[in-house]
Amino acid sequence: MPYSTLVFDLDGTLTDPAQGIVRCMNYALTSFDYMARPEHEITALIGPPLESAISDLSGEDDEFKIKQLVTAYRERYGAFGFAENTVYSGIRDVLDQLKERQIPMGVCTSKLEKYAIKILKEFDLFDYFDFISGVSGDSFNSPKSLQLEKLLTEGHIDSHTLMIGDRSVDISAATTNKLESWGVLWGYGSRQELDTAGAARILETPLELLELLNDQDI
């Protein structure tokens, strides 16, 4: 059966946020006298909630201190980091074709919703989507599965929705809500990670995504 709605992750799926995330993470860490981390350690944690990544990189488990680091991170991210980002090659063409066919699309991201909207507008992607789901400022380490659950409850999506993302958190969130999910390899997750998480398909390029959707007559 064709999918009723396509839900995309943001970081590592639509855009490559590495430069901004690395700079903001090290700004936050060094602001509180934690050691700056190398790029590969930070990019390995792109995808899951920010609080989880900061805890791993700082070695900190005190909730108050993690919140301080998150605040510092978002201070720079809101000013500069959101724009230190690039749209993956081929994504805009895929979205153009899907939009022309009037296929409902949305974004579900672990970022603050206001930053997700800011990024999508900065790179002229906002108008492709019917809804944007991000976390609120008072959320702490909120799982993406709860975001999808809310989208289902509010009627933005239904049981025939397809989730598309680059990390296991995207796949497991869909599985928790009994939705199908496809993993993508142009982001930050490996084939093994996505396969282990239970992705129904694993795609290597945005063009492959479009071809598979064409095959399913969506």
| pLDDT tens column, 132-180 | 999 987 655 678 999 999 999 999 999 999 999 999 999 999 999 999 9
* Span 110-118, average pLDDT: 94
* Span 74-84, average pLDDT: 95
pLDDT at 139: 59
**What is the distance between the alpha carbons of residues 205 and 90, in angstroms, rounded to a whole number?**
8
pLDDT over 60 (residue 88): yes
pLDDT over 60 (residue 63): yes
Burial of 65 (C-beta count, 10 Å sphere; 0-12/13-18/19+): middle
Catalytic residue among 9, 11, 166, 170: 9
pLDDT over 70 (residue 46): yes
194 pLDDT band, cuts 50/70/90, is: very high
- Which two tokens mark 121? 């507008």
Percent of the chain with pLDDT over 90: 90
- How far is CA 202 from each of CA 44, 163, 171, 172, rounded to the nearest angstrom? 19, 12, 11, 14
| Pairing verdict, β 105-112 and 86-87 | unpaired
* Span 49-77, average pLDDT: 95
218 pLDDT band, cuts 50/70/90, is: low
Answer yes or no: are the C-beta atoms of 160 and 4 closer than 8 Å: yes
Provide the CATH number for the domain formed by 5-16+86-215 in this structure: 3.40.50.1000
pLDDT over 90 (residue 74): yes
Q: pTM for the complete prediction?
A: 0.91
- Which two tokens mark 151? 């989208």
Query: Could you give the count of Cα atoms lying within 13 Å of 154 in the half-sphere of its Cβ?
Result: 10
Residues of the chain with CATH 3.40.50.1000: 5-16+86-215
Residues of the chain with CATH 1.10.150.240: 18-83
pLDDT at 215: 78
Fold of 18-83: DNA polymerase; domain 1 (1.10.150)
pLDDT at 136: 84
**What is the distance between the alpha carbons of residues 38 and 109, in angstroms, rounded to a whole number?**
24
The yes-or-no answer on residue 96 being catalytic is: no
pLDDT at 138: 65
Mean pLDDT rounded to a whole number for the chain: 94
69 pLDDT band, cuts 50/70/90, is: very high
